[in-house]
Structure 1
Amino acid sequence: MPHEITITRLIDAPRERVFDAWTNPDSLNTWWGPQGFTNTTQSIDVRSGGVWQFVMHSPDGTDYPNRITFEEIIRPERITYLHGEDEGRPRDFHTTVTFNDVGGRTLLTMNMVFATAELRQAALGYWAIEGGHSTVDKLSEFVAAAGGERRLVLTRIFQAPLAAVWRAWTEAEQIKQWWGPAHFTAPVVEIDFREGGKYLYAMRDPEGNDYWSTGEFIEIAPQERIVYTDSFADAQGNVIPAAMFGMGDDYPDVTTATLTFEDIGEGRTRLTLVGQAPAGEMAEMARAGWSTSLDKLAQVVAR
Structure 2
Amino acid sequence: MNSGKLEITTPTDREMVMTRVFNAPSTLVFECYTKPELLKRWMTGPDGWTFAICEVDLKVDGKFRFVWRNVRGNDMGMGGVYKEIVAPERLVHTELFDEDWTGGETLTTLILTDQSGKTFMKSTTIYSSKEARDGALGTNMEQGMNASFDRLENLLASLGKD
Q: Which residue of 2 aligns with 1:79?
A: 91
Match of 2:152 in 1: 139
Cα distance change on mapping 1:95 and 1:50 into 2, 3 Å: same
| Mapped pair 1:54 → 2:66 | yes
Structure-to-structure mapping, 1:46-125, within 5 angstroms: 46-86=58-98, 91-125=104-138
Structure 1 vs Structure 2 CA RMSD: 2.1
Amino acid at match of 2:87: R
Q: Would you say the 8 A contact 1:56–1:63 is kept in 2? A: yes
Instruction: Give the equivalent residue in structure 2 for 1:28.
Output: 39
Query: 1:5 corresponds to which letter in structure 2?
Result: M
Secondary structure of 1:47 counterpart: coil
Structure 1 residues 1-303: aligned runs within 5 Å: 1-36=12-47, 37-41=49-53, 43-86=55-98, 91-148=104-161
* Structure of higher CA gyration radius: 1
Q: Secondary structure, in 3 states, of the residue corresponding to 1:141?
A: helix
In 1: Cα distance, 2:59 partner to 2:37 partner? 14
Residue 11 and residue 123 in structure 1: after superposition, are their counterparts in 2 closer, same or farther (change >3 A)?
same
Percent identity reads 27
Cα distance in 1, alignment partners of residues 129 and 68 from structure 2: 24
- TM-score when normalising by structure 1: 0.45
Higher RCO structure, 1 or 2 (CA under 8 Å, sep 6+): 2
Superposed displacement of residue 124, structure 1: 1.6
Instruction: State the distance in 2 between where 1:47 and 1:119 align.
Output: 28
Query: CA shift at 1:46, angstroms?
Result: 1.9
Q: By how many angstroms is 1:7 displaced?
A: 1.0
Give distance in 2, aligned partners of 1:109 and 1:98: 5
1:226-251 CA distances to partner (integer Å, 9 max, x unpaired)? xxxxxxxxxxxxxxxxxxxxxxxxxx
Number of equivalences:
147
Distance in structure 2 (CA, Å) of the matches to 1:72 and 1:31: 23
Q: Unpaired runs of 5+ in structure 1? A: 150-303
Q: Deviations over 1:239-291 (max 9, x none)?
A: xxxxxxxxxxxxxxxxxxxxxxxxxxxxxxxxxxxxxxxxxxxxxxxxxxxxx
Deviations 1:170-207 (A, max 9, x none): xxxxxxxxxxxxxxxxxxxxxxxxxxxxxxxxxxxxxx
Moved more, 133-142 or 113-122: 133-142
Indicate if the aligned counterparts of 1:5 and 1:129 stay in contact, CA closer than 8 A: no
Aligned residue type for 2:62: G
